[in-house]
Amino acid sequence: MFSIFKKQEPPTFKQRVERFWNWYTEAAPKIYRTIEERKSAGLAAEVSEKVAALGHSFAWVFGPGKGGGHSFTLSGEGVLQYQLLTQYWLSRAPRIEGWTFYAERQPGSIKGVRMKIGDLDFDPIEFWLTPMVNAEAEKIDLTVWHPLFDKLPGQNDKLRPLFLFLDEVLGEFGTGQWIGEINLNDKQLPDSIPLSELSGFIEDLQKTKGWIKLPPGLAMTLYHCENPHTQFLRGDILIGQAAQPQLINEYLKAHGKLKDPLAGTGADYVFVTFPVGILPKGKQVDARGAIEDALNDALESAHSGRVLGGALGSKFGYVDLLIYDGSASLEIIRRILIEQNLPSGTAINFFAEEKKRATVFI
């Protein structure tokens, strides 16, 4: 195996996840017993230390388990790139009797919940929503009123408690999956419903429409670039698909000089570039798809990464990946690219500007 680093690498995300589950498997009986004794506050420091070892952008909470027992939730706090990592974390979870594990905050009750903003006490029951079905986007647009809105200075101040309580009612994934455009109103509309009835409204809508909502990162978004260029890699893209479209937007917006969005996690976003001319005319998408499938199968079988999409440009073809195991993941990618007979000059590039020196050429 080759190494692109001359000094010892920090723990990869795969290694961090393995260490976490080794600890949790051993500690689970003690943790369970402590929660049963209603002394879970004493676990906070130890658990927070272990979660921080995964990365500093995760939150955690204990709760009821599915069908009994207890649960442990690791949350990406609504940020897609961290939600992708919590899903990988969950995929590596062992079976432990009495425990359920979640990769996102679960829906809960808002009864008796409050949020303080300065001297204001926000009661979620006082949020009134007028839902409008957006059939094209398969989402619900909301017009929202709360009696304390006129006492807050800016829109972000008003949205903050709203999103907190939406997550409580719909769960961390539910808000992003179901809620579209939000408009804040200065009065309650006559056809509005209380926030507590929103989940029932969505359940009825889902039964009627049959809409299927996938977890973050599983649905692909098609995109195209209107003014392709060759000023930096990916600038030449004509059309592509992405499970993490925000990553693509931020990279292009930064003109290829993107600050590492996964810093401190041991995971990386990378993309493969190869001369687009090697793909058979009229079958470029299918040919690129075959490369993507081979890469995804190899990475997932080794629990080392996944494909996030790909694109076709005027100069290069692209395959986008999220890797969990550093140089070991890069070696798997390199091996598959060679097996796929990709030519000399094919490269594995990092999205992060700080890591461009680590580009691997085939």
What would the pLDDT profile of 47-102 be if each residue is shown by its tens digit?
999 999 999 889 999 999 998 999 999 999 889 999 999 999 999 999 999 999 99
pLDDT of residue 184: 94
- Are 254 and 350 in contact by the 8 Å Cβ rule? The answer is no
Q: What pTM was computed for the model? A: 0.89
CA distance linking residue 317 with residue 322, whole number of Å:
17
* Cα-only R_g, the chain: 23
Which residue do the tokens 């839902």 mark? 131
Classify residue 112 by burial, with Cβ atoms within 10 Å: 0-12, 13-18, 19+: exposed
| Nearest-5° Cα angle at 332, 330 to 336 | 115
Report residue 7's pLDDT band, with 50, 70 and 90 as the boundaries: low
Q: What is the set of domains in the chain, with CATH numbers?
A: 13-102 (no CATH), 115-209 (no CATH), 221-361 (3.30.70.2750)
For residue range 101-150, what is the model confidence (pLDDT) as tens digits?
999 999 988 888 888 888 889 899 999 999 999 999 999 999 999 999 99
Question: pLDDT value at position 60?
Answer: 96
For position 266, what pLDDT does the model report? 97
> Measured between alpha carbons, how far is residue 218 from residues 48, 294, 309 in Å?
29, 18, 10
Instruction: Quote the pLDDT of residue 73.
Output: 97
pLDDT digits (tens, 9 = 90+) for 301-340: 999 999 999 999 999 999 999 999 999 999 999 999 999 9
